Each structure stands twice: as structure tokens, then as C-alpha cells.
A and B are shown apart, each in its own frame.
Chain A
């Protein structure tokens, strides 16, 4: 995955607003994508996934959009809550990499009260 050192991209959002976190992926052969949420001191937590034959998938308060043309993935969180504060990682997998996860750069989401 990309390395951003200690300076994670940060997104500050007002509580109750919608959040959009973006991710660019690298492998055009990737066919499965996952968003993970990682709170401080915890392991990554699965949020939502999408396969390459889809361009949108919705979960509870979260939506993932996939644009294969530009190799872009986004995570939309509706009505952001304080508990959404975390670092969000996208990950891609592909058959040609034996389905190992390739991690994108994390984005730190900060919720303003």
C-alpha cells in the first residue's frame, strides 16, 4: 500500500453531515474491494465490500461507489456520528495476487461537534 508516514490525510466533518472518503486503487485486475475502519488501538474492522461487477453497494448508513474507468473507490457515510471517528482504509484484491489485500493510504475522519 501507499505510505503516508505519520501525516495521514484528514477529513473533518460536522456531526450529522455526510462524509465522503476517497481512494484510488492501482491494479486494473482487482476484482474485489473492501473498506475497513480502524479505531485507535484496535484492529481494522470490516465495513462494506464490493465486487468489480457492481458500481454501487449500500449498507447501513454507508455506501460504496466503484468507478473502474478511473480506478476510484469511495465510501459515503450518511449522518456522521462521533463514533465514526477513525482511520478508514480501502483495500483491493485480485486473483493475480492470490487475493492478498493491497492497502490504500488511510484517511483519518474527525467529527466536529
Chain B
């Protein structure tokens, strides 16, 4: 257990529905990342926050995806009008930026299946 938690662990939804995932990072960590991972691939970066500010979003992140970190602690990732191609593992990671070193610690992931 890294100290990063995600909820739910599994989600099955029908195409067109909206889903929301939550991530609780390690409490003193100031950065929070969202990734998507499909079978056999490394994690793909989606977006990240420094405290409550969303600093970067990947080109992969379509308009249907939105992420928030309102108080600089937990974060939510919402996918609107889900598509079958959204089926993947959604990973959250947090880190404490210290000088020029940053180690990201990952949560267990939320596995999404869109039918």
C-alpha cells in the first residue's frame, strides 16, 4: 500500500453514461497525476496538478474528460458520454517535488469497462 487510494476500484458502465473517479493522494504530496493504462502498455499521461492548479493536460485528454483538485488534496476525474474506447485502467499518482527529484507513488487504479 503506497498511501494513494482510488475509488472505485472497478466500474462498469454503459456507453454514453458519465463516470467519476476519485483519488486521495499521500497527504503531504503537492503534485497529483492522472494516467490511463491499457493492457500491455505503460501508463499514458493525462494531466497533473500542482496543489490545486492544473498545470498540464495531454493532447490525449478529449473535451469529455475533466479533472479537478479543488482544495489541493483529493482529485476527481470525470468522463462524460463514455465510449467503449475509454475502457482502461485509470491510475492516480502523487509526488512531493523536492529540489530536482520527484518520485511518483501510484494508487491501485480504477478499472473502467464501457459496454
Contacts and interface: CB of A to CB of B under 8 A. Distances in A.
A51 B99 CA distance: 13
Contacts of A19: none
Q: Interface size class for chain B?
A: 20 to 34
B21 interface: no
Interface of B: 2, 4, 6, 39-45, 48, 56, 91, 93, 97, 100-109, 111
27 contacts: A1-B41, A1-B42, A4-B40, A4-B41, A5-B40, A6-B39, A32-B101, A32-B102, A36-B106, A42-B108, A42-B109, A43-B2, A43-B4, A43-B93, A43-B106, A43-B108, A46-B2, A46-B103, A46-B105, A89-B42, A91-B42, A93-B102, A95-B100, A99-B97, A99-B100, A100-B56, A101-B43
